[in-house]
Amino acid sequence: MRPRAILHLRRAALSARLTIPRHFGTTSWVSVWTLTVCLSFLVISPVLAQSSTGVMPDNAHAKSYGSGWECDVAFRPHENTCVAIVVPENAYLTFRSYGEGWSCLHGFRRTRESSCVKVVVPEGGYLDPSGERWHCLREYQKIDGKCLKIIVPDNAYLNASGSGKRWVCERGFLRNDGKCEAVVIPQNAYFNAASYGPGWKCERGFSASNGGCEVIGLPENSHLDRSGNGWECHRNFQKSKGQCVLNN
């Protein structure tokens, strides 16, 4: 639309507002003012929309919605132009509209200088699914950027849980100074796999004493406690000097 036509429409809108009779209320004035603004917007907005599109540069296409243009795949906008994405060595195009448009190949990692360097996997290690990091194999442990083989002593095996100690003693053995020593179980006792203690526990009715298990002597009015390795008084009785006496 020509500038002269726009000017005529503006003058017509102003004239319509100025010739409103005085008996019109405030609401009518507001309505007319709103109409004037809307007419002005309708006149001006097509011009803004046309100017916003600009000239489509090479390696670009019209947007699928709205107006304007966007760069083709493998290109990025730069000062109203579309420049090709520079893919460094050992990288590939991602064909995505966001980001820098490239990623490193599997087995390479990105550096701060926007390049891709090979991931050096030490002996005893392997690449993780991302292809950017490495981990040690099960029988190795990571120390100072290397994978060192875990030394498993006799009567032990590798810990498959991935947490805690690297190796665990077999049943009947306890860890001591990096070795697995056999547990000597005294009479009237059984093996206890707890990580603390001597590795054995007395049977019910026996208590540990001097490296062995002795029979528990129950005083009158007493019984074995829940552990089975001690005693307690019956109800209404209390301990006193190794005996169970009636409560006062």
Q: What residues are paired with 202 via a beta bridge?
A: 189
What pLDDT is recorded for position 130?
92
158 and 152 Cβ atoms separated by less than 8 Å: yes
Place of tokens 């420049």: 83
What pLDDT is recorded for position 23?
45
- DSSP for 110-140 reads E-TTS-EEE--PPTTEEE-TTSS-EEE-TTE
- The CA-based angle 12-16-17, given to 5 degrees, is 120
What pLDDT is recorded for position 73?
87
Nearest to 133 by CA among 144, 125, 124, 141: 125
Distance, CA of 26 to CA of 32 (rounded, Å): 10
3-state secondary structure of 229: coil
Distance, CA of 58 to CA of 78 (rounded, Å): 12
Distance, CA of 216 to CA of 235 (rounded, Å): 20
Distance, CA of 82 to CA of 73 (rounded, Å): 10
What pLDDT is recorded for position 161?
77
Place of tokens 């102003």: 14
What pLDDT is recorded for position 53?
52
- The CA-based angle 79-85-89, given to 5 degrees, is 145
Q: What residues are paired with 125 via a beta bridge?
A: 136
Domains of the chain by residue range: 3-53, 151-182
3-state secondary structure of 239: strand
Distance, CA of 48 to CA of 64 (rounded, Å): 20
Nearest to 137 by CA among 162, 119, 114: 162
Q: What is the pLDDT tens value at each position of the chain, 248 positions in all?
A: 333 333 343 444 444 343 444 444 444 433 433 433 333 333 333 322 222 457 899 999 998 888 889 999 899 998 889 999 999 999 999 988 788 899 999 999 999 888 999 999 999 999 999 999 999 998 999 999 999 999 999 999 998 876 778 899 999 999 989 999 999 999 999 999 887 889 999 999 999 999 999 999 999 999 999 999 999 999 999 999 999 999 97
What pLDDT is recorded for position 12?
42
